[in-house]
Amino acid sequence: MAKTGLSAIGFAFFLTMLAVQADVLFEHFFYNALSGETTPVSFDIVTIVRGDLAAATCLISFGALVGKCGMNKLIIVMLFEVVFYTLNKELIFGHLHAKDLAGTLQIHLFGAYFGLGAAAVLGMQKHPAGADHPKGHPDAVASRNSDVLVLLGTVFLWVFWPVLNAYGAPRGTDSLLMGSPTQLRMIVNTILALTSSTTWAFVMSKLFNSHKFGPVDIQNATLAGGVMVGICSSLPLHPAGALGIGMIAATVSTFGFNVLDPLLMKGLVHDTLGIHSRHGLPALCGGIYSVIYLAFFLPPSPGGDIAHAFGPGADAWAAAYPEGVNQWKANLYATFATLAISFFGGVFTMGFVKAITICNDKRQGAFDDENYWAVKYDI
């Protein structure tokens, strides 16, 4: 958006630092409370990475609230979100035993629908004169500079996405340069899905934009393959399967931006940055795809030929999926549990925050940095 760059980046910077600290405390507290243990907090690289993942989830939700909330609301929303995020994480992994090594459900699905739930309660942002506006507010539009900067960020995310997806896989032991079979499989599957989603996003974008490329489609649908394939990337996919996931993700994301998002904005949810189509829909499709694959296409034994499609990995495959044929049920329950907890958690949180007088800010919804930052720009 043309007038909210400082708020988008500055608030995100602050919330990231706070979310990391909050997750270290909350995740440890709920783990002890649910397990009955009394272990002390330990600080290591794993603890910090977990905090970063919680912060990433909060930033996804922030995408639905950019320009509409001041720091008073955002701090409380973020703290509540970390609590719900931690509880959901303990539920789907500790009790349902779902397998989501790349965080498709844990991060993308949860972050998107928590933000949408909060945005639904926050309400639509109207034109200052009171008249209806297609996007809720005349300043909630992008500029040439913001489009270019976001596209540049998309390229950086594209490059690092395979590594982000493979962070949760078992680590390699033989060499620092060669990861475990699961890690390598996840990286290869993610690269294949990203190449496919990028190519197909350009194709689909022309169909929805009068034979021109839509900046929003290319900025976001190109990454949808990385979101959707995350939960499936540790599976022994055939290369054609990974490519197909990328095409499905790009199609769903592009359709969402051009068809579904405008419908949502007509009185239901004002999703400022389109997190529903960028993260929510691809993540939901990824969860459903993992259920279908595990239920119908899982090799009968880890030693099957398809398990070796990306190198020797039968032992790692057996260790990662001890539930065997019942794993699809765990992923199914986890997908819908995450969907419900995130959305209604966002609804509850924003409802609670709006009821607190200290959080009420008459400046909110103006989509203008000048309301929160000591600057004067002539845009």
Residue 198 has a pLDDT of 93
Q: In this structure, how many other beta carbons lie within 10 angstroms of the beta carbon of residue 293?
A: 20
Domain contains 379? no
Domain contains 176: yes
Q: Which of 206-215, 258-267, 279-288, 355-364 has the highest mean pLDDT?
A: 279-288
Q: How high is the pLDDT of residue 308?
A: 40
Q: What is the CATH number of the domain that holds 174?
A: 1.10.3430.10
Q: How many domains does the chain have?
A: 1
Average pLDDT over residues 36-43: 75
- Tell me whether residue 37 is in a domain: yes
Predicted confidence band at 43 (pLDDT cuts at 50, 70, 90)?
confident
Segment 311-355, tens digit of pLDDT: 344 445 555 555 555 788 899 999 999 999 999 999 999 999 988
Has residue 199 got a pLDDT over 90? yes
- Mean pLDDT for all residues in the chain: 80
174-183 pLDDT per residue, tens? 444 455 678 8
Q: Given this model, what pLDDT does residue 138 score? A: 52
pTM above 0.75, yes or no: yes
378 occurs within a structural domain: no
Q: What is the average per-residue pLDDT within 269-274?
A: 82
Domain contains 191: yes
Indicate the pLDDT class of residue 66, thresholds 50, 70 and 90.
confident
Average pLDDT in the 270-280 region? 87
Residue 364 resides in a domain: yes
With respect to residue 376, please indicate whether it lies within any of the assigned structural domains.
no
pLDDT band at 249 (very low <50, low <70, confident <90, very high): very high
| More confident: 302 or 7 | 7
Segments forming the whole domain that contains residue 55:
5-371
Encode the chain in three state secondary structure.
CCCCHHHHHHHHHHHHHHHHHHHHHHHHHHHHHHHCCCCCCCCCHHHHHHHHHHHHHHHHHHCCCCCCCCHHHHHHHHHHHHHHHHHHHHHHHHHCCCCCCCCHHHHHHHHHHHHHHHHHHHCCCCCCCCCCCCCCCCCCCCCHHHHHHHHHHHHHHHHHHHHHHHHHCCCCCCCCCCCCHHHHHHHHHHHHHHHHHHHHHHHHHHHHCCCCCCHHHHHHHHHHHHHHHHHHCCCCCCHHHHHHHHHHHHHHHHHHHHHHHHHHCCCCCCCCCCHHHHHHHHHHHHHHHHHHHHHHCCCCCCCCHHHHCCCCCHHHHHHHCCCHHHHHHHHHHHHHHHHHHHHHHHHHHHHHHHHCHHHCCCCCCCCCHHHCCCCCCCC
Residue 357 domain-assigned (yes or no): yes
pLDDT at 377 (0 to 100)? 58
